[in-house]
Amino acid sequence: MSRKEFVIKGIVLVVVCGLVFMGCSKKEDKQQEKPTVKGSSTLRKAELLVELPDYCNTPDGMALLADNSFVLCVPNFNDANAGAFIMKISADNKVSKFFVPPPHPKTKTAGPMGICLAPSGDLYYADNQFFQTPQSSRVMRIAMKDGQPQEAITAFSGMNVANAVAIKGDYLYVSDTVLVPDSKPLISGIFRFKLGEEGIEIKTPIEEDPHLIAKITSHHPTIGFGADGLCFDSKGNLYCGNFADGTIHKITFDEQDKVASNTIWVKTDAMKCADGLYCDKKTDRILVADMVQNAIQMIYPDGTVETIAMNGDTDGADGGIDQPCEAIFRGDEIIISNMDWPFEGVVNTTWDKPYTLSVVKLK
C-alpha cells in the first residue's frame, strides 16, 4: 500500500462525538482531574543528534539500554521499498544496523514500531501489519545472547494496529490503535499478555478477547487513530496516549492486578496529540510526543503540562523537530525520533531528507 493510501485509510477511520463505553472492569470514566499548564517561556531549542542513513526514512519507537545506547525501530512507511530495520545508536551517538525484522509470512513485510526491553534482556517490538491485512499485527520477541540479537519469535498475533509495548512485572502490555475499524467514536484498546507465553492468537471478534484489559475512545473528526504510547510510573500506574484527542489516560490496578479505573488524566488545549510516551521513574515525569504540533510535552506527577520544545515545519537538517513520534530521557537529554510522515492536520507538510533524531538538552 502506498503512503497516500496509508494516510487516507487512517483518515477515513473518522471519529465523531459519542458516548464512552467499556465493559465491567474495563470501564472508561470521564476526566476526573483538570491539569494546569506551565508557561511556555522555557521553550528549548531542539538540536541534531544524528542523521540516519538514507534507508531509514521513517524512524519510530526507541528503547534505552543499560549502557546508554538505544535501539530504534524503522518501519519505513514512507518508502517501504527500503525494507524495515531496527537500528542501534551508541552512547556516543554512532549509528549501526542492529537487527533486520523478519517479514510476516502472509504480507511479506515487517512494520516494527514500539519496542521495549524485558527483564530477561530480550527485546519485544510491535509489528504493525494493519495497512497490509487487518488483524494480522504481531508482537515479536528478539532473543538476545551476550548483547546480540539472535532471532525473532512471534509471541502474540491477531491485533489490528499493534503500536506501543510496555512491561510491568510478569506482563507485557500492547496498545491497539484501531481496535474496531470504522467505529464512531473510534474504539481502540490495550492488551495484556504474560511474558513467556508465545504463539498466542487473538480471538475474533477482537474486542471480546480476554487479553483486552481496557478500551479507549477517540472523537477527533478527521484523525482515525486512538490508543498509542504506553508507559508505567514508579507506582505501577499505566498511562496511555490517545493520539487523536491529545489526552492521557491513567489506568490503575487493584491488588489482584485487575483494572480498577481508566480515566482521562490529562486534557488540555496545549497538547493536540499524544503519540509516544516515556516515564522517568525517578521523577515520574512523562514525555509526550505531540506529533501534530511538532512539539514535546512534559507532564509532571501532579498533572501539569509543560511544552519543552516546539518548532514550525522543517526538514530537520538543523536538528528541528520533524513530526515526532516518541521521545525518551537519556540522562539530561531528551532524545526525539522524527517520524516525518505527514498527514492532514499536522504542522509537517512534506516527507523529505534528511532522516533525523533530535535532542533537547535540559541543562
Give the whole-angstrom CA distance, residue 297 versus residue 288.
Answer: 5
Tell me the C-alpha distance between 287 and 242, whole Å: 14
225-274 residue pLDDT tens: 999 999 999 999 999 999 999 999 999 999 999 999 999 999 999 999 99
Query: CA–CA separation, 241 vs 118, rounded Å?
Result: 21
Query: Which among 104, 164, 167 has a CA at the least distance from the CA of 136?
Result: 104
pLDDT grade, residue 14 (50/70/90)? very low
Environment class of 208 (CB within 10 Å of its CB; exposed 0-12, middle 13-18, buried 19+): exposed
Contact, 11 vs 224, CB < 8 A? yes
CA 175 to chain CA centroid, Å, is: 8
Lowest-confidence segment of 37-51, 187-201, 292-306, 346-360 by average pLDDT: 37-51
Q: How far apart are CA 299 and CA 301, in angstroms?
A: 7
- Give mean pLDDT, residues 7-21: 36
Give the pLDDT of residue 38.
56
Average confidence score pLDDT of the chain: 91
Average pLDDT over residues 112-117: 98
SS3 358: strand
Residue 108's CB is within 10 A of a number of other CB atoms, namely 8
pLDDT on residue 34: 44
For position 111, what pLDDT does the model report?
A: 98
Please give the Cα distance from 73 to 57 (Å, whole number).
11
* For residues 337-345, average pLDDT: 95
Total residue length of the chain: 363
Tell me what pLDDT residue 42 has. 79
Chain segment 35-50, per-residue pLDDT in tens:
445 544 579 999 999 9
For 307, residues 6+ apart whose C-beta sits below 8 A from its C-beta are 38, 40, 43, 270, 290, 295, 296, 297, 298
- SS3 annotation, 64-102: ECCCCCEEEEECCCCCHHHCCEEEEECCCCCEEEEECCC
Q: What is the pLDDT of residue 21?
A: 32
Rg of the chain, C-alpha, whole Å: 18
Per-residue pLDDT, 37: 53
pLDDT value, residue 13: 38
pLDDT reading at 32 higher than 60: no
Residues 6 or more apart in contact with residue 81 via CB below 8 angstroms? none
Confidence of residue 181 (pLDDT cuts 50, 70, 90): very high
pLDDT tens readout for residues 134-168: 999 999 999 999 999 999 999 999 999 999 999 99
Write down the pTM of the prediction: 0.90
Q: Are 193 and 168 in contact (CB under 8 A)?
A: no
Domain boundaries, the chain: 58-297
Lowest mean pLDDT among 15-19, 27-31, 77-81, 225-229: 15-19
What CA–CA distance (Å, rounded) separates 275 from 297? 11
> From the CB of residue 312, how many other CB atoms can be counted at a distance below 10 Å?
10
Q: Which cell numbers hold the place of 110? A: 515487517
What are the grid coordinates assigned to 328, written together? 525518551
Mind listing the pLDDT tens digit for each residue in 195-211? 999 999 999 999 999 99
Cβ atoms of 326 and 337 closer than 8 Å = yes
Fold of the domain built from segment(s) 58-297: Neuraminidase (2.120.10)
SS3 8: helix
Mean pLDDT over 306-324 rounds to 97
